A = this chain, B = another copy of it.
Amino acid sequence: MDTLGVVSAPRITLDDVASAAGVSRMTVSNSYSRPERVAAETRERVMAAAAELGYGGPSPVARTLRRGSTGVLGLLLNDALPYAFSDPGAGAFLRGLTVEAADADLALQILRATGPTARARVNDAAVDAFVTLALADDDPALLAAVERRVPVVCSGSPALPGVPCVTVDNVGACRRAAEHVVAQGYTRFAVVTWSLGTGVFRDRLQGWRRGLEAAGVDWSEVAVHERAGNNRAHGLQAGHRILDDVVGSEERYAVLAATDVLALGVLQAARERGVDVPARLGVVGFDDVEEAETAGLTTVAQNLFAQGQECARRASGLVTGPTRRHPTRLVVRRSTS
């Protein structure tokens, strides 16, 4: 099913309620949308008539059509919807987005960008603007949103012509992360990343490669573990694959992970195998989520809350003009030093 069940019944109109209650159409309308303008007794009479007839109030969709805007901000996510309520990085971004949306009295509508019906879902969404979170460059839902000619703001990536993209310098930040692990004396390297179909993760890969190659590392010897999702289980599984090599080697390995969540999975794998961090294995994440601090994870810190705020402000037209990259900072903790 793609819609909620709708019960078919003779359609009761505002006029029916007005005549049953002996008031004007405007009084019925005001009883719903501006109750403070109607005497309490009159409103009670209207509501009693509405209840008897089974009338549910003026159609919000018809009202929206007259007004020309919906007061709703659409959010396109590239994964199952529950991700928004479990991933700490997505959570920080969404808190920033919703703080601004609430200030502007906008509701937030969450839509999946993936799946066969994504394009139809975007075309059907009654929203005034879209914000996207880390979508693939050729995501059909993103392209459908752009074709609708409502404001679209991308976070992370991609950078499409005419579409503002709120992001950080992923290449530069990851280059510095790679230089850090080389400076700490690690001699073998592996990468764990979410989908490389997404620009933000290709940029991070590019940054690590530049940093390692500048230090003379042969990139063809760096194992790249690409995973279909961003959660701890994926990081744990990739971590065990990498540790198969670590335990049979005399060299010190460093893992560069595209998100803290993946990095925390790698750290868990090291604990399960009894491999000493940072002596035998170093781990660097990206994001600086709350748990990175308690876990002692070295990471690239970015302010996802502020990026979410900027996306909402741009989507609602409060901020315009060219975007500037948000700052990042390498935070060195126990996992590499």
Contacts and interface: CB of A to CB of B under 8 A. Distances in A.
A4 B315 contact: yes
Interface stretch (A19-27, A58-66, A237-245): A58-66
Given A3-B67, A3-B71, A65-B65, A112 B102 contact: yes
A306 to B, nearest CB: 14
Interface stretch (A80-88, A178-186, A265-273): A80-88
**Interface SS of chain A:** mixed
Contact of A109 (B68, B92, B102, B108): B108
A121 interface: yes
A86 to B, nearest CB: 6
A1 B64 contact: no
B98 A148 contact: no
A281 to B, nearest CB: 23
A106 interface: yes
A137 interface: no
A4 B56 contact: no
Nearest to A107: B111
Contacts of A317: 4-5
Contact of A316 (B4, B65, B109): B4
Contacts of A72: 109, 126
Interface stretch (A47-55, A220-228, A250-258, A325-333): A47-55
A128 B315 contact: no
Nearest to A69: B3
Given A56-B147, A95-B85, A102-B81, A4 B73 contact: yes
A176 to B, nearest CB: 29
Contacts of A150: 56
B108 A95 contact: no
Contacts of A3: 67, 69-71, 106, 128
A151 B98 contact: no
6 contacts: A4-B317, A59-B65, A85-B90, A98-B110, A107-B109, A107-B112
